[in-house]
Amino acid sequence: MQESRKDCHAWLTLLATALVPLMIGIFTVVITIQHQSSADRQRQQEQQQADNLQNERTFSTYVDDISKLLLTKEVTTDNKALLYIRTKTLSSLRKLDTQRRKYLLLFLYESQLLQYDKTKKHDRSTLNLAGADLNHIHIEKPKNFNNLSLPGVELNNASFTNCHLQHSRFADSIMNDIRFTNSFLLGTRFSRCSLERADFRNTTLTHVSFRSAILRHADFTRAWTKAADFTNADLYGALMTEKHLQEAELLDNARLPNGSFAMIQEKNLVVNGENIGCDKKLLSSWTMESVIIKTFQHYRSSPNCSFGIANLSSLNPTSIEQQVVVANYSVLIDSGKAKYNVSGSFGGNAYAKITFHTHAAVKTGKQVMIGLDERQNKTGTMIFQQKLGTIPVDTRQFVLVVYFMKIPEGRHNFAVFNNIRITALHLEHSHQMSINNLRFYPAHRCFSNEVIEQIKHYDKYKVPQHIIRNILIDTHQDKFYIVKNIGNILKVTSNNTITQELAVQTCLTEMKEADLTAKIEVIVQRNYELNMIFIACTKTKNNFQRYG
C-alpha cells in the first residue's frame, strides 16, 4: 500500500512538472495570437488610413489642378484642354474610392464640364468621359442633373434617386442594375444602353429615348412612359403593364415583355434602289469609280427608270456598291428570327451580291447572290427575281454590290437593273400589332381548365358552338374566342353521347325552371325535315343580339 502511494505521488509530481511548461506554452501561444490579431487590425487600420489619405490627396490634387485650369482659360472652347482634363480624370478615377468618385462627378457637373448645351451643334464644350468607371456611385438626395452628358460610361449598380435628369444623355453606357427610382427624366436619351434589371419605379420617363437599349427584366412599376421611344428595345421580362406600352410613342422592332415582337418595319433598306436611272449621275448612296460613271446610260420605260451599261465590251468588269445598316433590327436579328427578303429586276449581265457583316465590320461568312437567272440570257427584258433567307446573328450591316460584267457564255452585251430592295422580316409576326388588340392574339386565347369545363357543360346540352363563344366572351371580356377554338377543344375533350332529343328535353326542363322567358326556335328545311332546335335563355339572347 505504501509503495502504491509512493507511485501515485511520483506520477502526480511528474504531471505537475509537465503541466507547468505546458500552461506556459499555451499562454504564450494565446498571447502571441492576440498580439498578432491586434497587429493585423492595426495594420489594416493604418492601411485604411493610408488609402484614405492617398485618396484624399489624389482628389484634392485633381480638384486644384482642374480649378486652376478653369480659372486661367475657357476650356469649353479648347479641345486640347478638354483632352487634358479627360486624361487626368480617367487616371484619377482609377485611383479613387467610390465615395470620392462620386464627389469628382459632382465637381465636374457643377463646373459645367458635363452639361450638354442643346443650343450648340457640336459637343466640343462637353467633357468626354467615355470608358470612365463610375460603378457603385449612389446619389440619393434630391439633386438637379439636368443636361448631364455621360455617354459611353460604366454605371453598374449605381443610383440616381429623387433626381432631376431632364435632357440628359447616357447613350452607349453600361448601366446594369442601376436605380432611377422617384426621379424625373424628361427627354433623356438611353440609346443603345445596357439597362438590364434597371429600376425605374415611380419614375417619369416622358419623351425618353430607349432606342436599341437592352431593358431585360427592368422594373417600370408605376412609371410614366408617355411618348417614350422603345424602337428596337429589348423589353423581354420587363415589369410593364399594357398601359406603359400604350403610352409609348414608338415600339417598332421592339421585343415585348412576353417575348413577342411589335411591328417590324418592312421598309426598303436600300437607299435610292428604285428608279435609280432617272438621275443624270450616280446618287450619293452608291459608290463607284468616278471615271466609270459617265459610261452609264439610262434605260427609260415609263413610269420607271432603269440603270445600266449599254456596251460591256468597251469596259473592264465594274460594279456599284452600297452599305446597308441594319442596327435598328439588332434585337430581332440576335434572336435568330430575322429573315431577309432580297428582290430586284435584272437584265442582261447584271447581278447582285449581298454580304453580311457584324458590328465590327467582320464578315459573318454568309453571302447571297441574285440576278444570275438563266432566263436573263434568253430575253432582252428585265426579269424580277427574289430570295428569302435567315439573317445571321450579330449582323449589323449588309454590303450590296451590283456587278456589270461580260459573261463569256452570255448572249447579251449590256447589263441593267432596277427596283432592288432588301427588307427585314419576322415571319412569325411582321404586321402592325395594336396594343388595344392584344387580347385577340393566340397567347391570349388559351383556355383555362375553368373555361374548358364551361365549354363541356354547354356542349352537354347541345348549345351551338357560336353561342358558347358569345357566352365566354361576355364572361371573360379580356379574352377573345372564335368558334374554331371551341370546336378544337370539343374534339379533344368531349365524350358526349347524349341524344339530341334527350338533350333538348333536359335543357328545356331546366330552363323553364330557371327562366320563364326562355325561347325555343325550331328550324326546318324546305322538305319539312328537322334541321335545328335553337334554345336560348335571356342571357344568351342578349349575347346573340350583341355579337350577331
Summarize pLDDT for 380-412 with one digit per residue, the tens. 677 888 888 888 989 988 898 888 776 666 566
| pLDDT recorded at residue 125 | 73
Supply the pTM of this predicted model.
Answer: 0.68
Q: How far apart are CA 161 and CA 4, in angstroms?
A: 84
For the ranges 52-56, 97-101, 417-421, 450-454, the one whose mean pLDDT is highest = 97-101
Q: How far apart are CA 129 and CA 92, in angstroms?
A: 12
Which residue blocks in 445-499 are alpha helix, DSSP H?
449-460, 465-475, 483-493
The rounded mean pLDDT for the chain is 75
Are 371 and 350 in contact by the 8 Å Cβ rule? The answer is yes
| pLDDT recorded at residue 206 | 92
Q: How far apart are CA 308 and CA 312, in angstroms?
A: 10
Q: Of the candidates 116, 121, 120, 107, which has an alpha carbon nearest to the alpha carbon of residue 70?
A: 107
Cα angle 199, 202, 206 (rounded to 5 degrees) comes to: 95
Which residues are CB-contacts of 336 (< 8 A; sequence separation ≥ 6)? 390, 393
DSSP state string for 114-153? SB--TTSSSSTTS---TT-B-TT-EE-S-EE-TTBB-TT-
Question: What SS3 state is found at 26?
Answer: helix
Question: What SS3 state is found at 539?
Answer: helix
Beta strands 163-164 and 383-390 are: unpaired
Are 185 and 168 in contact by the 8 Å Cβ rule? The answer is yes
Are 419 and 273 in contact by the 8 Å Cβ rule? The answer is yes
Domain 130-264+430-436 has CATH 3.20.20.150: no
Beta strands 318-325 and 395-404 are: antiparallel
Domain spans in the chain, listed from the N-terminal domain onward:
130-264+430-436, 276-425, 445-547
Q: How far apart are CA 278 and CA 476, in angstroms?
A: 57
For the ranges 26-30, 39-43, 416-420, the one whose mean pLDDT is highest = 416-420
Does residue 207 have a pLDDT over 90?
yes
Does residue 152 have a pLDDT over 90?
yes
Q: Which residue has the higher pLDDT, 204 or 273?
A: 204
DSSP state string for 361-384? S-EEEEEEEES--GGGGT-SS-EE
Summarize pLDDT for 332-363 with one digit per residue, the tens. 999 888 888 888 888 877 888 999 988 766 76
Q: From start to end of 332-468, where are the E strands? A: 339-348, 350-358, 363-370, 383-390, 395-404, 415-425
Grid cell of 328 as nine digits:
435598328
Domains 130-264+430-436 and 276-425 share a fold: no
Which pLDDT band, with edges at 50, 70 and 90, does 277 fall under? low
- The sign of the CA dihedral 426, 428, 431, 434 is negative
| pLDDT recorded at residue 18 | 63
Question: What SS3 state is found at 40?
Answer: helix
Are 518 and 535 in contact by the 8 Å Cβ rule? The answer is yes
- CB atoms closer than 10 angstroms to residue 305: 16
Does residue 198 have a pLDDT over 50?
yes
Q: How far apart are CA 375 and CA 388, in angstroms?
A: 19
Does residue 13 have a pLDDT over 50?
yes
Domain 276-425 has CATH 2.60.120.260: yes
Please report, for residues 59, 104, 138, 238, 417, the alpha-carbon distance to residue 195 in angstroms, rounded to integers and kept in the order given: 30, 24, 16, 11, 44
- Give the burial string for 354-380 (b: 16+ CB within 10 Å, else e): bebbeeeeeeeeeebebbbeeebeeee
Q: Which amino acid, one-letter code, is at 175?
A: M
Summarize pLDDT for 436-464 with one digit per residue, the tens. 444 434 434 455 667 777 777 777 766 77
